[in-house]
Structure 1
Amino acid sequence: MSKLSTKPYILRALYQWALDSGYTPHIVAWVNDKTCVPRQYVRDNEIVLNIGAAAAHNLNIDNEWVNFAARFNGVSHDIWIPVGHVITLFARETGEGMGFEVEPLTDDDAPITEADEAAEPEDAAESKPAEDSGKSGGKKGLKIVK
């Protein structure tokens, strides 16, 4: 049996603690080409994001990804961050929270981008499921490699 990471469980618990305490949860994430965030808000390969209910719509913290929709200057963006790229989850009001080590994704774990789909041969695209109904919770656009 493979060992499950405790990180996503701790992230979900810290998020719930912040909400229950009346605080606004934020995350700091390490950004690279595997992370889907608006690049103009990235500083030193990091981004700070409000993941409170008013800012992060349809927030999902599963065992592999943190994903949600958010508006930046009135423009909606789908945010996809590998759980391993979360550096910190903290309460904006107090700064309390927890830091984590970065666990970079391998190429096999990365989300499929529009450029990747355009570069694939047609038969490869047909053999790959559009959605995974297993480990990643059915996230559309994730590549599953077994």
Structure 2
Amino acid sequence: MTASTKPYLLRALYEWCLDNNQTPHIVVWVNEHTRVPAQYVRDNEIVLNIGQTASHNLSIDDEWVHFSARFSGVAHDIWIPVGHVISIFGRESGEGMGFEVEPYQPENTDTQADKPQAAADKPAEAAKPKKGLKLVK
């Protein structure tokens, strides 16, 4: 099985935005595996500024887009499965690229050790797949 080109394209288009003095934004499909402030989600989607001044410690790896950001002055740890990114574009021009949504399918949600490394690093409350479940250690 070959690796997905999507994380490579996301990183490349992010760099393209920065090189061309554009502010990179992503449109994300939101479900129980996506960690974003729920009050900003509309129709299961959210638009996020991932520019250098809006995001802190941005990481786009093969499975996750992760960063910290402030919403109305409150810091949030953002976790997005790469497959949930619908598009990336420069705010100033609207130029960018759209993608097919690939719903995140965890291999095994029973144990923390079986989750991708990025998910294992999440705080316990962010690692819960649905409200009402509790982490059992």
Aligned pairs (5 A) from 1:27-42: 27-42=26-41
Aligned to 2:121: 140
- Cα gap change, 1:14 to 1:36, in 2 (>3 Å): same
Deviations 1:99-121 (A, max 9, x none): 000000114377xxxxxxxxx7x
**Ranges of 4+ aligned residues in structure 1 off by more than 6 Å:** none
The answer (yes or no) to whether the contact 1:70–1:79 under 8 Å persists in 2 is: yes
* Gap regions ≥5 residues in structure 2: 128-137
The answer (yes or no) to whether the contact 1:68–1:80 under 8 Å persists in 2 is: yes
SS in 2 for 1:19: helix
Deviations 1:5-30 (A, max 9, x none): 00000000000000000000000000
Deviations 1:118-141 (A, max 9, x none): xx7xxx6xxx54x98xx7468513
Aligned residues: percent identity?
A: 62
* Gap regions ≥5 residues in structure 1: 111-119
Aligned to 1:56: 55
SS in 2 for 1:16: helix
Aligned equivalents of 2:13 and 2:120: distance in 1? 23
Once the two structures are TM-superposed, the CA of residue 98 in structure 1 deviates from its matched residue by 0.2
- Cα gap change, 1:102 to 1:39, in 2 (>3 Å): same
- Cα gap change, 1:106 to 1:88, in 2 (>3 Å): same
Number of residues paired by the alignment? Answer: 124
Counterpart AA for 1:69 = S
